[in-house]
């Protein structure tokens, strides 16, 4: 039976690739994308839904489907401060996950980050880790957490920190072996492929994938 996918963060690097793949996957009959404002071109099978992410009633009306994919995220520089960053990277995913679970959605797939750890002294990594833990406590029958390293792909916006990270990691790519392999950069489209494969083929339970495992799951 064809599935309905719901996507958060559809305009980002990974989210955009994910939506395109879902629309060309006959296992999905509908792809609902939750947006603050109209920003995507209409395509067959695509259902843009304008929501207020601060309004639970608005979200509850939109969060109906089979699988919830969360690719939403920002940077502290773009958000302007830590408080705004946390609203995007913690509050929105957790709020949407809570409502989706309440409405009997069975799977949640989250794009987190390499190094995510609720005990980290780094604010970014700590917030990502806290998001993971909060969603894990909600109790989805199937939860998939993806922790990619530096994402490769063409962004509309320029992120200096990410550009520097890409340069350094690509220079030392083949030195990243063993436990360091998870820090290898990965194409955003491969993260998207891995998310779909996990949603379709992986049994219930909580699963965490680092960059090396994501690439393997994507079939690359």
Q: Residue 40's pLDDT is what?
A: 75
- Strand partners for 187: 152
Would you give per-residue pLDDT tens digits along the chain (220 residues)?
A: 789 999 999 999 999 999 999 999 999 999 999 998 877 777 888 999 999 999 999 999 999 999 999 999 988 888 899 999 999 999 999 999 999 999 999 999 999 999 999 999 999 999 999 999 999 999 999 999 999 988 886 555 545 555 555 554 554 445 445 554 556 778 899 999 999 999 998 779 999 999 889 999 998 6
Q: Given 3-state DSSP classes, what are the helix, strand and coil percentages for the chain, each rounded to the nearest 5?
A: 45, 20, 35
The CATH number of the domain covering residues in 3-217: 3.40.50.720
Q: Residue 151's pLDDT is what?
A: 85
* Bridge pairing between strands 28-35 and 107-111: unpaired
Q: Residue 158's pLDDT is what?
A: 47
Rounded Cα distance, 82 and 61, in Å: 29
H runs (alpha helix) in 123-183: 123-138, 160-171
Q: Residue 176's pLDDT is what?
A: 47
The 10s digit of each residue's pLDDT in 157-180 is 545 555 555 554 554 445 445 554
Q: Residue 43's pLDDT is what?
A: 84
Q: Residue 209's pLDDT is what?
A: 95
Angstrom CA distances, 209 to 34, 60, 78, 189, 213, stand at: 25, 29, 27, 15, 5
Q: Residue 2's pLDDT is what?
A: 86
The 10s digit of each residue's pLDDT in 98-132 is 999 999 999 999 999 999 999 999 999 999 999 99
Q: Residue 78's pLDDT is what?
A: 87
């Amino acid at each position: 039976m064809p599935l309905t996918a719901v996507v958060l963060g559809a305009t980002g690097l990974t989210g955009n690739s994910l939506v395109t793949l879902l629309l060309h996957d006959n296992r999905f009959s509908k792809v609902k994308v939750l947006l603050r404002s109209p920003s995507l071109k209409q395509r067959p099978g695509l259902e843009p839904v304008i929501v207020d992410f601060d309004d639970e009633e608005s979200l509850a009306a939109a969060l109906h489907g089979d699988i919830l994919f969360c690719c939403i995220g920002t940077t502290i520089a773009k958000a302007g401060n830590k408080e705004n960053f946390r609203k995007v990277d913690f509050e929105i995913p957790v709020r949407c996950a809570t409502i989706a679970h309440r409405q009997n959605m069975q799977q949640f797939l989250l794009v987190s980050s390499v190094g995510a750890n609720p005990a980290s002294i780094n604010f970014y990594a700590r917030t990502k880790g806290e998001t993971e833990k909060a969603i894990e406590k909600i109790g989805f029958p199937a939860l998939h957490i993806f922790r990619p390293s530096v994402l490769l792909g063409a962004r509309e916006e320029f992120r200096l920190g990410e550009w520097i990270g890409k340069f350094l990691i690509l220079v030392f790519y083949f030195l990243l072996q063993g436990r360091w392999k998870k820090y290898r950069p990965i194409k955003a489209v491969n993260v998207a492929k891995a998310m779909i494969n996990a949603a379709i083929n992986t049994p219930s339970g909580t699963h965490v994938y680092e960059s090396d495992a994501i690439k393997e799951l994507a079939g690359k």
